[in-house]
Every structure is written in structure tokens, then in C-alpha cells.
Structure 1
């Protein structure tokens, strides 16, 4: 029956692909019926093939019989192979989402160019499905819940998803009387953009270690306990693996440092310690048999004649050499950010009104905000026509009077067309204080073509900021092919700004690129790409990526004062 089951699965897949293709419904139904019929067919299919009797099986016509014959002879159905090649392989992930059948997936693919689970999630967060025929806000919410469940099974999460669960655990466990100290460690503490598991390190008296472990594993059902030990246990907490280590109070700071990592950083640091006559591990820093007392991680580095290295920089790159030479950058902090750009409102695909976004930014202490809804080419996001721009400018002037302490800059996120032009004529573009040029289509151009496209946009006198420069969506889509070094060089030459898009699904530019180019890069603007009030908090993640990239406040455009921003924009427009 194994081959019969294989054939049934292929016939079902054929029906799905034909429906995605928009084929005749009768043909789709024929494959569905044949699959159902073969599920209950007890006789030997291979024997039926040899006798030329496949078409005598209920639901199997000449065309489907030919498909079955192909499978027996070649191990594949030729038409199925052709159909598979006509769609991105990631498209089939969408069919795993509860409530999404082939018809709805076809609509998402045809109208919003959604090809993967990650792109679907991003589209939901940008409210692209709300006004799509056959969907709406309730369907969008159900889809997001379905995606969350699927992601739990895949064990890779965006940083904010993992941090939220870790923070809940930290708050709860820090109240346990048996625990003296507890902190997040691992890649989460180093602010990696994607996370596989959560590492927690805590200290407790030896007699309480077992109690802590028991309480920890009791946070979940027995089925979600991965391992239960005396010093280390693991559970699956809301779909994410959480590892807890309990150590003595004297070992805590060393264990926290060790399990923060990275492995590469630890290896280099242990090597340096050995050269200086020390032994460094998760239990302590030892000189011979004696433990060197360290109350903080800074003390560990100090003993090794190093400046303190923040967790975000501990990736085994050049941080130890820089620390030794007192050349570590004074990396940016969240408090350095004075204002934000790349903010959407309900004029395009944002959830909140312009007034609500400005109020929220003002309440967060920002002194300026740059409104930048989608432009006219972004039909999927209800991009602004010229009459919409007129209306928004009138509203901005009105809201500005209500909020005199925060400067509202008039901007737009203008699509970079395939030839590198922006999608408004000059007389429209010159009305804005700033323009973010972004690629939202034709992602599969060659590196040479895409680089020329973005270079031309940067050379446009009206383009102020290059948005999400590589177009990547984490866990969904690789960035398009582009010569990033050329883009950074042109941006610096033209006096333009490059975006660090802080949306957790993007985090584009990648921090590794920032780290490599930190000594010779154009201004970087940490932008939330916010589509609702909550999205303004994306800046926090953007700052984390800038810190990993070794950026200081001097690298970052939106650490400037309002007056400096106004002067910069005026000079660009001159």
C-alpha cells in the first residue's frame, strides 16, 4: 500500500496546484475524487497497470491513469513536476495555516505577491489583508494565530517573540524566595535577530537548587518537560525551549558570562586568560588553585586587562583586540534617539490616525516624527495619490498646532521603480521634507541591475533615505542581490542616509554589514517602520542591532536635534 499512499498524496497535491493555477474546477475535482477513491482501493495498483485496467477504478480517467503510469515508471508524475516548478516552493507553507485553502492562497499570491509564511505574517502586521476581498480584520487575526502555532513547531523565533516569553518567566521566577539572582543569557542577551531557545542562569543555595528545578519544570505540563536535572533542566514554554542552569552564588557571574557566549568570544577570552596565567570557565577565574573574586562581568574583563565588552559585541569578531587597545566604540543607547522617521498612518496601511501616532511619539519623549505613508505605486497598501497628499498635509498642519513640542516632518515612502526612478514627478517630490526610497517589487533582478536601480534612486536629489536596503524578511525571504558596499559608498558620496529598518521582521541593514563598515559609512537612521502605535517600540530592537554593529550616536541620523534635522533637510532641498 506504500505506493498507493504515495500516489494519493501526489494526486491531492496535483488538485491543490491546479486550483492555485486557476484550472478548470472540473479538472481539480477529478483529481480530488481520484485521490479519495484510491484511499479505499484495496487491490494491487501495479497489477491493474500491467493489465491495462487503471481506468476501471472509480474516478480514474485516461489522464489520471497516465499520471499513475508515469509514477510507476519514473517515480514521479511529469505534470505534477511541471506544476511544482511554476510556483515558489515556499508558497505551500501558506496551506498549512488553518483556514487558508488554495483559493485564498491564490488570491494572496496574485494580489499581494505573498510567497511564504514570513511574508504573510509581515503583510498581516502591515494590515494588508484587512481590505482584501474575502479576508478582513477577523481573518487576519486568525491567520496570525495560526502562523504563531506553526512557528512554535519550527523552533525558530524572532527576537521580540522570544524576549516576551523570557521576560514573563524572569518576572515570575525572580519572586521565588529560593532564587538569589536570575538573568537571561545566550543569544537572547546578545540580541541576536533570531532565537532558537531561551537560556536562563540563576543562583541559589545548594540545598535549594533541587527546589528551584522542581518549581521550574512544574511551570509546564509533564509532556512539555524536555529534561529534569539537579543543575540544568529544559522545558518547552509556549513552544520555545527554555534551559535553566542553577549555580552557587560564588559562580553566578562567571556562569552568566559563560552562558551568554558566544562560543567564539569565550574561546578567544579563555585563550587570552591562559596566556596571562589564568584559567577561565563557567565556574570562575582561577590563578592556580585560587578563585579570583569578581562581583560583576566588568571585573572579569578588568582582571584580564580589558575594557568591559557589552553582550551585544561578544561575537568573536574583533572586540577583544579593540578592548585590549581601548578602542571599543561607545555604542549607542536608546536614550540617544531623539526622534523617528518611517511612520505609517491610516492614510495608507497603518492602523492608527496621524494624530494618534504623533501623540504616542510625543508621549515617548521624541522631539520629532517623520510621517511617511506609502506612495501611489503601492496599490496593495492604499498608497497616496496627489489629492491624498493634499489632505494629509492639511491634517499635519492642524495636528502640529495641537502638539507644538514635537516637530512633524512631512514625508513619503516612495517606491523605487525598476528603472531607479521614484514613483512621483518632481513637482510632487519637492513638496516633502524628506523622501524614503524603497524597493517593493521586482526583487529577482540581477545584482548589477538591482545595484544600478538603487544607485540611481540615491542620486535622485529628492531621495533622502534608502529604506530597508536589502529587502530581506527574517525567516521568510532572503535579501535581494545587491552590492551593499557600492550602495553605502554612493550614499556617503551623495550625502544620503541609509535606513536600519527596526521592524523585527526586517532588521535591515544586517548588523554584520554595519559592523564591517562602521568606520566609513553614511548616516544610518534607525527607523521603526511603524504601522500602529505599538510599532513605535520597534526602535528598541533597531538600537540593539546598531549596538551589535558597533555604531555610536555619531553614526545615527536620528540622534540629531530638531534644528540639526531641519538644517540637513533644507540643505538637501537647496
Structure 2
């Protein structure tokens, strides 16, 4: 198991201990250990080999033994025992927005509720009204949350599905009779939410591949198994389908099972107009088989340039490919620096200097520190005197750095009336300002739109942070006229954020394309609260590509010297 997997298990243990009602220090120990593991630069195997786990702050002897057991065997007896002690329905309840471990424990102990269905019935019967810590408003919110969970049941964040798919892919590659293998479906198209994992493999002995696939370590149970296709449930909880085709059929099958359904329908329509038939086994002109060695040749045979998987949504990509007008999509290597970085000054867990070292190690040349503003008391928002202390530290660090620069920024709360959390005098001293909504989400569309338009009109705002406020599978975007907000950003020269945190991926890729068409720059920001958060850029890049963005559309694809000039020009305008 890698560091991320081990941290996930440690976090799970912390949650399970909370659900059991154990003393808070016990669960905190596992949460702290999870964060400590994720922050390590060395691989877990190296830490174990060097006997360095016990030297990490927050990891004692008992947790060291558990981590070692996990890393070396892939299992942890203590974890499995804990899961058996707690009704699985209690863990499911954690998906309900606003319902944490303590409240779930109360529901279990006081009302004997063990499933979401039982909880829904209890709410309908008003059994939560007199329960300490609940009441009518909480009961109403829980009922709404249950409906939300029902709507998205069986769906997974891209990041979770991708991690499970990558582990499965590594295991599949050990099957010797496979010539080629790829993730397909919504994951290959980088959809932010997916229901399952699709894979396509090429082999001349499909049955042997299916037999080996269904016996892989990641497979919990077999749903269905045939000569060329198998469906399984993984231990991660997600279903995975594998289709095996003969080697010569692979490009056609990969295109077909990548989708989307709408893209495939449009491609079949185009092919029919050319007298060609498309299916997952090939291209055919009458009885003639049109041979293609890969997807590039597949698209070429239909008179098209290669369409990257992210764009295959039947949203103009076929017409653009025909005219040679497909965008040169942004790559991770195009990103030169990072904005929207939190540190231990507010709700991050890493020092400024350690964040800088981690960014430099990843090849970036600048970083914009943006801790929370003063009204964000829940996140350790910074009073002006603390800000100035941070600025002095940044100045000292900048004097010691060569080829890397730290920008002084803030994630400034947009208050309900659209004003910002600091006065203009203080805002004028920042290198950049990210303005974000963190409260009062339930405004009307008119109110929320006016709130954001007022914030965007402030001359000191550089970037509008996570514009829709959504949390994938947890919270809907707030009611908002995004079209009007994009127009306002264009008018005021404000950059819009594509927040790369996989729980947000906000702004939506459909709006990214519209912003691009209106010449609004996008900043792909990690919203990192620790070192591992820097790597969330991968998810933001995927959504940017899906939104047809090129390097020229992205603020932090600008090289260091030019971004310095860009930010200075904006400050001089004020």
C-alpha cells in the first residue's frame, strides 16, 4: 500500500473510533498520524526499511506497528475488527451533509438507528425533535441530506475512482497474455463523478485474461463473468468492468467504450454519411475492414484529427476536428506556479517554508500564499498583525531563494453584502487577492449574483475563488447567474478560479469553455492545505482540458518574470 492508501485507512480508523464513542484523543491520534504520513517525502517502504516511522511526530509505537502491518500485508486486523463492531449503516450516514460522528453516535445510542432508511423514517415521525442537539431545523436538514445521498448513491469522485482504477491497472498489467490495456469510460474522459470503472484490454486469449482478472487481489466479489467480459466489485466499493478484445479490434473497442454515448452517436452518424459502419469491433466499408493501428488512425479514417478523450462529449469536438481547429489542450508541464496555498498560519498544517520546498521539488517557480481572512474564524482567519508577521517571513524567504518567488496573497471572504473582509487600504498591500464565498449559501439567485458582482467590481480582487461553491456529492452549487458573473469578470479583468481540490473541481468544465470564449483567464489552483494537496493539480488539469483550455488561457501557465509584471500592472491600475 502507498502513503495515500495508508492515510485513508488511518482516517477511517479515526472515524470509526468516533462512531464508537471512544475518547477524542484516540481518534485524533489516527487523524494526526494520517496527516503526518501524507506529508512525508519518502515512500512508505523506505520509511519502514530505515526504521524512521517512529521518529515522525504524531506516530507512536502502536501506530507504527499498524502502519507496518498495512504496508507489508495490505491488511490490518485492528481495522477489520473495528469495522465489524460498527453497523455499516452508521458509516453510510457520514455521507449525509452536516451529520458527523457524534450526532450519528447519538442517533444510534438513543434511538437505535443503524441505517439511512431508519433515520429517514425517524425524521418523518418527528422523533428527532426532542433529541438533545437536534431539533426541527436539524431534522429538516437531515431529510434534505438523505434525499441528496439517494440522488447520488453509487457515484464516486473522480479521484477515488481513479486511485482504485490505477491500483487495478497495475495488477492487470501482471497478466502476461495482455498486449494492451487502458482505462476507458467516464474516467478516461475525466468526468468529475463516475459510477464505475471501465477497462479495455487486447489479448489473443480473452478467457485466460478474464480468469486472471476475477482473481486479482483488489477484487472483493464477482458480479458476472463470461468469455470476453467480467464485472467485479472491488474492495474500494466501486464496480469495475473489463472487456477483452482481439488485438486488431483494440482501437475500435477503446474508442467505443470510452464514449460518451452522445459522442459515439454523432460519430456513427458521420460515418454513415461516408458509407462507413462503426462498432466496437472495427470500421467497415461494406464487407471491407478498415485497418487502424490506434485511435489516431481511427479518427483519420473518418477525416478527423485526433480528438482527446476529455473532449468526447458531442459538444462541437467533431466539427472542430474536421476543420483542424481543436485546441492544444493544457498539460501539467505548462503550469509554472501555484496560487491558493494555505499554511499553518490559518487552517493549513504546513509551514510556508515547507510548502515552498515542496513546490520547488515539483518543478514550480512561484507560489502564492493565501491564508484565510479575519472573518473566517472557523479556519483561523488572519488578523492584520498576523498577516504582517507572515509577510516578514515571506520577505526573508524570498531573499534566500534563487529562481523562485513567493507572492503575498489572501483568500478573502466575500461578506453577505458583497464587500470584502479587509478594507481597501490593507487589500492594496497584497500581491494578489482571491475573493471567495464561505458562508450564507442559501441566498436567492438574485442576492448571490449581486454579492459576487459587487466583489468582482472591487479593484483589488485578482481571482474569484471556487465560483459556484459546490462540493461534489456533498453540496449543490449555490443559486447564481454564472453567465452574469463571467461577464463581470471579463469587464473587470478578474481571473476565475478552477479549484483543483477533487471535492470541488469548481468551476465546472462547461463554464470554463464559456469563460475562455469571453477572454476570461482561468487560474488552476490546488487550494492546498498540506503538501499532498499540491498534487491535486492533476485533477484541475483534467477539468481544464475538458473545458477546452490551452496554456494561454491559464494564469499560472505564465512564466515567473511575466507573472510578476502581470500582478504589478494590476496593482498600478489601482
Normalised-by-shorter TM-score class = 0.7 to 0.9
Query: Are the aligned partners of 1:502 and 1:527 in contact in 2 as well (CA < 8 Å)?
Result: yes
Whole-Å separation in 2 of the counterparts to 1:316 and 1:157: 23
- Tell me what 2:473 maps to: 475
Q: CA deviation at 1:380?
A: 0.6
Match of 2:538 among 512, 519, 540: 540
Check if 1:215 corresponds to 2:266.
no
1:503-553: CA deviation from partner (whole Å, max 9, x where unpaired): 101011100112344321411110010111111111111111111111111
- The 1:217–1:355 alpha-carbon spacing in structure 2 relative to 1, beyond 3 Å, is same
Report the alpha carbon displacement of residue 393 of structure 1 after superposing the two structures with TM: 0.9
- Post-superposition Cα deviations, 1:261-316, rounded to whole Å, max 9, x if no partner, equal 00110010011111101111100011111211101101111111111100000011
CA contact 1:343–1:529 (8 Å) conserved in 2: yes
Matched, 1:87 2:86: no
**What do the CA deviations read for 1:55-96 (whole angstroms, capped 9, x no partner)?**
xxxxxxxxxxxxxxxx9xxx97568689875226554799x9
1:505-516 equivalence runs, <5 A: 505-516=503-514
SS across alignment from 2:374? coil
SS of the counterpart of 1:198? strand
Deviation at 1:155, TM superposition (A): 2.5
Determine which of 281, 285, 288 is the counterpart of 2:286. 288
User: 2:562: which partner in 1?
Assistant: 564
Aligned to 2:295: 297
Q: Please show how residues 422-571 of structure 1 align to structure 2 within 5 Å.
A: 422-571=420-569
> What is the rounded CA distance, in whole Å, between the counterparts of 1:512 and 1:222 in structure 2?
35
Task: Report which of the two structures shows the higher radius of gyration computed on alpha carbons.
Answer: 1
The unaligned stretches of length 5 or more in structure 2 are 1-92, 94-98, 113-120
Whether the 8 Å CA contact 1:359–1:403 is kept in 2: the answer is: no
Alpha carbons of 1:92 and 1:481: their partners in 2 closer, same or farther (altered >3 Å)? closer
Q: Give the distance between the partners of 2:154 and 2:239, measured in 1 at CA.
A: 8
Counterpart pick for 1:254 among 243, 252, 262:
252
Equivalent residue pairs, number: 459
Deviates more, 1:509-518 or 1:81-90: 81-90
Does the Cα contact within 8 Å between 2:498 and 2:540 map onto a contact in 1? yes
Matched, 1:167 2:166: yes
2:230 corresponding residue in structure 1: 233
Measured after TM superposition, the shift of residue 436 of structure 1 is 0.4
CA distance in 2, matches of 1:281, 1:473: 37
CA distance in 2, matches of 1:77, 1:176: 55
Encode CA deviations 1:470-506: one digit per residue, 9 max, x unaligned.
1000000111111111111111111111111111010
Question: What SS is found at the alignment partner of 2:393?
Answer: helix
Distance in 1 (CA, whole Å) between partners of 2:218 and 2:323 is: 51
For the Cα contact (< 8 Å) 1:488–1:521, is it kept in 2? no
Q: Which residue of 2 aligns with 1:43?
A: none
Is the contact made by 2:171 and 2:216 (CA closer than 8 Å) also made in structure 1? Answer: no
Matching residue of 2:183: 184
Residue 358 of structure 1: aligned partner: 356
Superposed displacement of residue 220, structure 1: 5.3
Superposed CA RMSD in Å reads 3.0
8 Å CA contact 1:270–1:280 kept in 2: the answer is yes
Gaps of 5+ in 1: 1-12, 14-18, 23-27, 37-70, 97-114, 118-149
The aligned counterpart of 1:120 is none
Retained in 2: the 8 A contact 1:413–1:435? Answer: yes
